[in-house]
Amino acid sequence: MTQLIREMPETERPRERLWRLGPEALRTDELIAILLRTGTAGHSAVVLAQQLLRQHGDSLNALARAKAPMLAKIPGLGRTKAIQVAAAFELARRLVSEQQHRLDISDPDAAANCLREEFRTADREIFRALLLDTKNRLIHIACISTGTVNASLVEPRELFKAAIAYSATSVIVAHNHPSGDPAPSAEDLAITKRLVQAGELLGIKVIDHIIIGLPAPHRPRDFVSLRERGLI
CATH 1.10.150 positions along the chain are 5-96
| pTM reported for the whole predicted model | 0.60
Q: Which class would CATH give 5-96?
A: mainly alpha
Query: Where in the chain are all domains bearing CATH 3.40.140.10?
Result: 101-225
How many percent of the chain have pLDDT more than 70? Answer: 91
Q: Of 45-59, 141-155, 193-207, which has the strongest mean pLDDT?
A: 193-207
Residues with Cβ within 8 Å of 166's Cβ and at least 6 positions away in sequence, in order, are: 131, 139, 140, 142
The pairing of strands 126-132 and 138-146 is antiparallel
Residues 179/213, Cβ–Cβ less than 8 Å: yes
Q: Are 119 and 126 in contact (CB under 8 A)?
A: yes
150: pLDDT strictly greater than 60? no
pLDDT at 1: 46
Report the 10 Å Cβ neighbour count for 119. 24
CA–CA separation, 175 vs 173, rounded Å? Answer: 7
Whether residue 141 contacts residue 130, with contact meaning beta carbons closer than 8 Å, is answered with yes
How long a stretch of residues is the chain? 232
At the top level of CATH, the class of 101-225 is alpha beta
Q: What is the predicted pLDDT for the residue at 9?
A: 74
Neighbours of 191 (CB within 10 A): 21
Q: For residue range 56-108, list pLDDT tens digits in order.
A: 998 888 898 889 999 999 988 999 999 999 999 988 877 776 665 667 888 99
pLDDT tens digit sequence for 176-210: 998 889 999 999 999 999 999 999 999 999 999 99
Q: Which of 99-108, 127-136, 147-156 is predicted with the least confidence, judged by mean pLDDT? A: 147-156
Residue 124 scores a pLDDT above 90: no
